Amino acid sequence: MKKETSTTTDAELLPSAVPFWRDPEKRAIIFQIVALLLVACVSYYLFTNTQANLDRQSIATGFGFLDKEAGFEIGESVIDYSAADTYAKALLVGALNTVKVSFIGIVLTIILGTFIGISRLSTNWLVAKLAGGYIELMQNIPVLLQLFFWYAIFYESFPSPRQALNPFTGVFLCNRGLIFAVPAANPAYAGMGWAFLAALAIGWGLNRWGRQRQARTGQIFPAVRVTIALVIVLPLLVWLGYGAPTAMNMPELQGFNFKGGLTVTPEFSALLLGLVFYTAAFVAEIVRAGIQSVGRGQVEAAMSIGLYPGQVLHLVILPQALRVIIPPMTSQMLNLTKNSSLAIAIGFADFVAVTNTTINQTGQAIEGVALIMLIYLFFSLSTSLFMNWYNKKMALVER
């Protein structure tokens, strides 16, 4: 290696020239180029094979099939659908079903999981042990097996519609599902819905006003209790205002099945129950870990100041516990959404099931699988974004 020395007066020693095969920066670039070339070659190879195979089997490519008539029925749907509708609509029905079961599942899981997590920490030995047993049991049995189990219970243990179980008036359990009476359509219910929202809005406003008053005068306003009261009373007043309608849409046995009322199919019930019971066990552990992460010293310090237990929970424990709970909880909610894809195994028409039927009929496997992966990627990435934002916002400030 030649050393270049400058002959000018401001001695500017240039770094010695390094042959590029020993220069780490150049080596990195070459390495990456090679890696990308490799990926490109493999992709090209797979691509050409796929083209050839698709041509040979006369399978179309592209998403043109979305406009074609679907030609198959779907077991249950949130919107109107018939076999004459397009594939695009069928896929939409599947997606909506996925969203429906995921959303209800998430709400129920959070409630059940939090309840069991707190029970696990109870000072009552019996309750704590039962909660612990539930957690261990549900976590260690595969979710698919749990789904099959619930589905089998519905189909084998429940009788046919003609001999349906009737635990309460208007509620029937049979192997066609859970059928129950719902209030008959009436403008009162829309009114009650608005009243509910109005109560929440008023409650939120009262909370703000109450906190400002507390800052000024020190008096504490029981915002939570008042909001709960409003949420119950306002819709009740609306209901009375409409003449207290009590007409119910009762299910009635006609022939071999029930008509009227609302039916919750065994497929949906089995999927919902299986997912909720399984995921709740994981959520319970997360809640438990979160509450335990708040050291005893924090509780003792709060109690020493004179805060009573409700205040200790609300001002000291929950803010710290929620920071620890929410990130893994969000992962579990995402897992529940992904696990809802198992619906195909028990015949519930979620997005994967509908897409599978589409693939079977059109032969366009690549587009179908790509669609499935895209939709779940969408869920996952939005959840990741939310979590990153949440973590940044809530991070405890340290040195």
Partner 1 sequence: MNETEIQTAVTPAEGPIIEVNSMHKWYGDFHVLSDINLKVKLKERIVICGPSGSGKSTLIRCINRLEEHQRGQIIVNGTELTNDIKNIEKVRTEVGMVFQHFNLFPHLTILDNLTLGPIWVRKTPKKEAEETAMMYLEKVHIAEQAQKFPGQLSGGQQQRVAIARSLCMKPKVMLFDEPTSALDPEMIKEVLDVMIDLAEEGMTMLVVTHEMGFAKSVADRVMFMDAGQIVEQNSPHDFFDNPQNERTKLFLSQIL
Partner 2 sequence: MSAPATTPTREYLKPPVTEVGVIGWLHANLFNSWFNSILTIVMLLVLWQLVPPFFSWAFIDSVWNSPAEACRDIDGACWSVIPQNISFIVFGFFPDGQQWRPGIAMLLLIALVIYSKDRKHWKKSLGVYWLVGLIVMGTLMYGGVFGMPVVETDQWSGLPLTFMLALFGMVAAYPLGVMLALGRRSKMPAIKTLCVIYIEMIRGVPLISLLFMSSVMFPLFLPEGVTIDKVLRAQVAIIMFTAAYIAEVVRGGLQAMPRGQFEAADSLGLNYNQTMRLIILPQALKIVIPPSLGILLSAFKDTSLVVIIALYDVLKTTKVTLSNPKWTGYSTEAYIALAIFYFICCYAMSSYSRKLEKALHTGR
> Which spans of this chain sit near partner 2 (rule: CB under 8 A)?
28, 31-33, 35-36, 39, 46, 49-50, 52-54, 56, 122-127, 130, 136-137, 139-146, 148-149, 152-153, 156-157, 338-339, 341-342, 344-345, 352, 356, 359, 365-366, 368-369, 372-373, 376-377, 379-381, 384
184 binds, among partner 1, partner 2, none (CB under 5 to 8 A by kind): none
Least separation in angstroms between residue 67's CB and partner 2 is 22
Cβ closest to partner 1, residue 83 vs residue 224: 224
Containing 94, the helix (H) or strand (E) segment is: helix 87-120
253 binds, among partner 1, partner 2, none (CB under 5 to 8 A by kind): none
- 105 near 275, Cβ under 8 Å? yes
Cβ closest to partner 2, residue 153 vs residue 289: 153
380 binds, among partner 2, partner 1, none (CB under 5 to 8 A by kind): partner 2
Q: What are phi and psi of 226, to 5 degrees?
A: -65, -40
Cβ closest to partner 2, residue 95 vs residue 253: 95
Least separation in angstroms between residue 306's CB and partner 1 is 4
- DSSP helix/strand/coil, 161: helix
Amino acid at site 20: F
Least separation in angstroms between residue 302's CB and partner 2 is 20
Cβ closest to partner 2, residue 72 vs residue 149: 149
46 binds, among partner 1, partner 2, none (CB under 5 to 8 A by kind): partner 2
From start to end of the chain, where are the E strands?
A: 165-168, 171-174, 177-180, 182-183, 248-249, 252-254, 257-259, 262-264
Determine whether 348 is exposed, middle or buried from the number of CB atoms within 10 Å of its CB (0-12, 13-18, 19+).
Answer: buried
d(CA 175, CA 64): 39
Least separation in angstroms between residue 161's CB and partner 1 is 55
Least separation in angstroms between residue 360's CB and partner 1 is 54
141 binds, among partner 2, partner 1, none (CB under 5 to 8 A by kind): partner 2
Cβ closest to partner 1, residue 12 vs residue 398: 398
Q: Which residues contact 128 (CB under 8 A, 6 or more apart)?
A: 119, 120, 121, 122
Q: Which residues contact 311 (CB under 8 A, 6 or more apart)?
A: 302
Cβ closest to partner 1, residue 83 vs residue 220: 220
d(CA 346, CA 312): 46
Q: Take residue 205 and report the two structure tokens written for it.
A: 């406003």
Contacts with partner 1, residue ranges (CB under 8 A)? 214-220, 295, 297-298, 300-308, 311, 315-316, 319-320, 323, 396-399
- 104 near 86, Cβ under 8 Å? no
